[in-house]
């Protein structure tokens, strides 16, 4: 029998190199423009304004908001099916950066196509462009997250992860403010209509995303000298199967993944539907909604660093428990909130724990993944899949409860169940406290 082709190793990348870490964090700066401008602030409102309330697809009639939700869900289902296969191939071939570039290109170029989405006549362009951007964004994150253990020592995971999220929040807010300035002053800038100005915002996301990502590509470790051969796909499945078998012998890691799944269902549902709750239950206008989103983003920067600091003092587990307790209080107070002023205060707390829990969850998982494993991407694909499935479960539960009760308030109260299950599972997880390692920080 001939030996299976393997990727030739490269020299190890120096850990804690400031230039490498900042290059890695800049990818968050680049791709978070999609998360804010496309998925949250501008595209949803634009889509609703230029499409019919009821859309006829052959003999089927569907509301424009339902079609949007289905497109989002289908994108997540597709990437949840693809990412474990591709991550296995990336580990087997040593071509992690190749896939990071591939999904970045898919996402950024899809944003550029949204410029041609002008109304119902281009509905297919709008839906496919939005789905492509979503798939590119979520697909790239698997490979991006898997670099964390390769660029920093374990004692710096929390701070480095927080830096990535902070860069993302800052970059996306800067681009959103620039886009809003252009949209609001389109006539003075010589742009013919506000619609054109809005579509230029989608182009700016694509260029911003693709442009800043080049810095990341230059600074991250190179791919190993693996090639895509006839055995690559087979080896990719083998890598995935190996990680799945390893998980059965890592009960601590498995418990964290399940805890992460349940509390992420609550977290992600709040993040995706907070603006809808504010609009329908508290009658927020579009301007106020954008201001609300900006509050969330700016406070999240503080939250990411605050809980990275607290985790260093008290450990990741206690810091996560504090955040989950705050999430429960957010759900309870939102249920009893009827004024916009009160909701801004709640939004501040959401922003605080939004940045913290996403950052600390990623760094905690990095600590639990076996040391020196060559299958980091495959491990992170499980993490990513669970987060995407949590979005589907959480948002579906919200919609079902709203449909049964006729209001959103019972839906937000029901999310407490996800947080409580997550806390229960997390209580059974042992998270080691990383001690500083004697690896010099390279400037």
Q: What pLDDT sits at residue 265?
A: 93
Q: What is the CATH number of the domain that holds 186?
A: 1.20.1250.20
**Residue 10 pLDDT grade (very low, low, confident, very high; cuts 50, 70, 90):** very low
Q: What pLDDT sits at residue 289?
A: 80
Interval 336-363: pLDDT, tens: 999 999 999 999 999 999 888 988 998 9
Q: Residue 60: enclosing H or E segment and its boundaries?
A: strand 60-63
Q: What pLDDT sits at residue 237?
A: 66
Q: Are 5 and 229 in contact (CB under 8 A)?
A: yes
Q: What pLDDT sits at residue 304?
A: 86
Beta-ladder partners of 62: 55
Dist. CA 51–CA 66, nearest whole Å: 12
- Say if 339 falls within a structural domain: yes
- Say if 184 falls within a structural domain: yes
Q: Are 257 and 265 in contact (CB under 8 A)?
A: no
Q: Which domain holds residue 145?
A: 18-426
Other beta carbons within 10 Å of 38: 26
Contacts of 41 (CB under 8 A, 6+ apart): 176, 289, 290, 293
Among 221, 155, 88, smallest CA distance to 367 is for: 155
Checking if the pLDDT of 56 tops 60, the result is yes
Q: What pLDDT sits at residue 375?
A: 72
Contacts of 90 (CB under 8 A, 6+ apart): 96, 98, 99, 143, 236, 377
Contacts of 77 (CB under 8 A, 6+ apart): 388, 392
Interval 267-278: pLDDT, tens: 988 887 787 788
Checking if the pLDDT of 244 tops 50, the result is yes
Residue that is written with structure tokens 């307790």 in the block: 325
Interval 105-140: pLDDT, tens: 999 999 999 999 999 999 999 999 999 999 999 899
Among 92, 109, 93, 113, smallest CA distance to 101 is for: 109
Q: Are 394 and 415 in contact (CB under 8 A)?
A: yes
Mean pLDDT over all residues of the chain?
Answer: 85
Residue, of 9 and 80, whose pLDDT is higher: 80
- Say if 199 falls within a structural domain: yes
- Say if 209 falls within a structural domain: yes
Q: Are 152 and 21 in contact (CB under 8 A)?
A: yes
For residue 171, the SS3 value is helix
Q: What pLDDT sits at residue 231?
A: 62
Q: How many domains does the chain have?
A: 1
Checking if the pLDDT of 11 tops 50, the result is no
- Say if 436 falls within a structural domain: no
Q: What pLDDT sits at residue 235?
A: 64
Interval 314-327: pLDDT, tens: 999 999 999 999 99
For residue 103, the SS3 value is helix
- Say if 383 falls within a structural domain: yes
Q: Are 380 and 279 in contact (CB under 8 A)?
A: no
- Say if 270 falls within a structural domain: yes
Among 30, 179, 202, 45, smallest CA distance to 111 is for: 202
- Say if 318 falls within a structural domain: yes
Beta-ladder partners of 57: 60
Beta-strand relationship, 60-63 and 54-57: antiparallel
For residue 327, the SS3 value is helix
Checking if the pLDDT of 434 tops 60, the result is no
Q: Residue 54: enclosing H or E segment and its boundaries?
A: strand 54-57
Residue, of 347 and 244, whose pLDDT is higher: 347
Residue that is written with structure tokens 């479960």 in the block: 393
> Residue 10 region, left (φ>0) first, then alpha (ψ -120 to 50), else beta?
beta
pTM of the complete model: 0.78
Four-point Cα dihedral 372, 378, 384, 386, nearest 10: -100
């Amino acid at each position: 029998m001939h030996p299976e082709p393997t990727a030739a190793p490269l020299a190890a990348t120096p850990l804690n190199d400031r230039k490498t870490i900042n290059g890695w964090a800049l990818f968050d700066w680049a791709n978070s423009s999609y998360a804010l401008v496309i998925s949250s602030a501008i595209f949803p409102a634009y889509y609703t304004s230029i499409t019919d309330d009821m859309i006829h697809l052959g003999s089927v009639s569907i509301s424009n908001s339902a079609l949007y939700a289905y497109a989002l869900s289908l994108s997540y289902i597709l990437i949840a099916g693809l990412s474990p296969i591709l991550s296995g191939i990336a580990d087997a071939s040593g071509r992690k950066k190749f896939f990071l570039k591939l999904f970045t290109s898919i996402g950024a170029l899809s944003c550029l196509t949204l410029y041609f989405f002008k109304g119902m006549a281009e509905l297919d362009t709008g839906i496919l462009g939005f789905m492509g951007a979503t798939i590119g964004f979520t697909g790239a994150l698997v490979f991006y997250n898997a670099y964390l253990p390769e660029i920093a020592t374990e004692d710096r995971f929390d701070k480095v992860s927080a830096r990535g999220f902070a860069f993302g929040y800052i970059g996306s807010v800067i681009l959103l403010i620039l886009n809003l300035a252009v949209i609001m002053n389109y006539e003075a800038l010589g742009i013919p209509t506000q619609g054109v100005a809005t579509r230029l915002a989608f182009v700016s996301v694509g260029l911003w995303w693709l442009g800043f990502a080049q810095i990341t590509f230059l600074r991250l470790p190179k791919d190993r000298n693996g090639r895509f051969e006839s055995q690559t796909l087979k080896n990719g499945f083998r890598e995935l199967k190996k990680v799945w078998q390893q998980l059965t012998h890592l009960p601590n890691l498995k418990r964290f993944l399940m805890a992460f799944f349940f509390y992420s269902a609550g977290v992600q549902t709040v993040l995706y539907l907070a603006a809808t709750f504010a609009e329908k239950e508290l009658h927020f206008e579009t301007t106020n909604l954008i201001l609300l989103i900006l509050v969330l983003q700016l406070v999240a920067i503080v939250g990411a660093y605050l809980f990275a600091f607290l985790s260093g003092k008290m450990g990741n587990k206690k810091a996560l428990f504090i955040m989950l307790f705050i999430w429960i209080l957010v759900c309870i107070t939102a249920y009893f909130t009827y004024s916009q002023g009160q909701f801004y205060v709640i939004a501040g707390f959401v922003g605080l724990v939004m940045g913290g829990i996403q950052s600390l969850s990623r760094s905690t998982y990095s600590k639990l993944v076996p040391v020196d494993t060559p299958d980091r991407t495959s491990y992170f694909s499980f993490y990513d899949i669970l987060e995407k499935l949590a979005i589907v479960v959480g948002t579906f539960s919200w919609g079902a409860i709203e449909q049964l009760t006729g209001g959103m308030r019972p839906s937000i109260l029901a999310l407490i169940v996800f947080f409580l299950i997550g806390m229960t599972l997390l209580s059974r997880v042992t998270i080691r406290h990383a001690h500083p390692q004697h690896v010099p920080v390279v400037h």
